[in-house]
Amino acid sequence: MKILVLNGPNLNLLGIREPEIYGHTTYADLERDIQTWAAELALEVEVFQSNHEGILIDKIQAAYQKTDGILFNPAGYTMTSVALLDALKAVGIPAVEIHISDLSQREKFRQFSYIQMASFATIMGEGIQGYRHGLQLLKDHINSKA
């Protein structure tokens, strides 16, 4: 089972950016943890991060018929990108939206998600461990459809 783990803008600055919200784990640490969790779950993962909306759209489109699931932290594009929503809907790949922080406890403008409309689950506020949870949800969901 192949999972695409997509991370949006500024996640490359984990460990530097607002550690009181996102913690001290670096992006390299996150990538390593995802690979470890994927191996434990017998999943093949590709981890990808971009600060550019169009590149994320290209990655989603390239996953069509090649990827079983998408774990997506759209970061700042969560509440702004209809284009990312449309890309997810177009490919029809099961998706889980993930956020390190709990958006419902943050600024009001962060409490709406376009990406949620194309996701069968949303994980928020579990920190980095939420990625492991998301991988497990995807595996269980895909297996239930098989």
Question: Does residue 37 contact residue 132 with C-beta atoms inside 8 Å?
Answer: yes
Question: Which residue out of 22, 77, 114, 131 is catalytically annotated?
Answer: 22
In 3D space, the residue among 73, 66, 125 whose CA is nearest the CA of residue 95 turns out to be: 73
Q: Taking a C-beta distance cutoff of 8 angstroms, is the pair 17, 49 a contact?
A: no
Task: Determine how many CB atoms are found less than 10 A away from the CB of residue 92.
Answer: 10
Q: What angle do CA 76, 79, 83 make, to 5 degrees?
A: 90
Catalytic residue among 24, 27, 64, 99: 99
22 is catalytic: yes
* Active-site residue list: 22, 99
